[in-house]
Amino acid sequence: GDSVTQMEGPVTLSEEAFLTINCTYTATGYPSLFWYVQYPGEGLQLLLKATKADDKGSNKGFEATYRKETTSFHLEKGSVQVSDSAVYFCALSANSGNTPLVFGKGTRLSVIA
């Protein structure tokens, strides 16, 4: 079945450092790919998405590019802030919406001042 693998955390960075969280997937067909973020005590919020190969999703300084050839969707940010501290989940679904998401295990990011 479909699956998502993302790098284990926790990841600890200093403020203004560059962030990469790796995500690779296994799926039949052409899934849509997502990054969700979870702040303490809250639900998951959609951070960005890409629905086809070579699409780049971006939001709040975060970016990820749908790479079909490497089945990857790595999350990047050029300069992290303390407020970015959260758990980040990579996920896929069979289409752009309305079907179940398959999640990775999550990567906890801590940014220190």
Partner 1 sequence: DARVTQTPRHKVTEMGQEVTMRCQPILGHNTVFWYRQTMMQGLELLAYFRNRAPLDDSGMPKDRFSAEMPDATLATLKIQPSEPRDSAVYFCGTSRENSPLHFGNGTRLTVT
State the DSSP code for 94: S
Q: For the chain, where are the E strands, in sequence order?
A: 3-6, 11-14, 19-21, 23-26, 32-38, 44-50, 56-59, 62-65, 75-77, 86-93, 102-103, 107-112
Q: Which is nearer to partner 1, 78 or 100 (CB)?
A: 100
Structure tokens at 31: 């899934």
- The SS3 assignment for 80 reads coil
Site for partner 1 in 46-65 (CB under 8 A): 46, 49
Q: Check residue 97 for interaction with partner 1 (CB under 8 A).
A: yes
Q: Check residue 105 for interaction with partner 1 (CB under 8 A).
A: yes
- The interface region with partner 1, picked from 16-24, 33-41, 60-68, 74-82 by CB under 8 A, is 33-41
CB 6 within 8 A of CB 107: yes
CB of 37 to partner 1, least distance (A): 11
Q: Check residue 27 for interaction with partner 1 (CB under 8 A).
A: no
Q: Which is nearer to partner 1, 80 or 89 (CB)?
A: 89
Contacts with partner 1 by CB under 8 A lie at: 34, 36, 41-46, 49, 89, 93, 96-98, 100-106
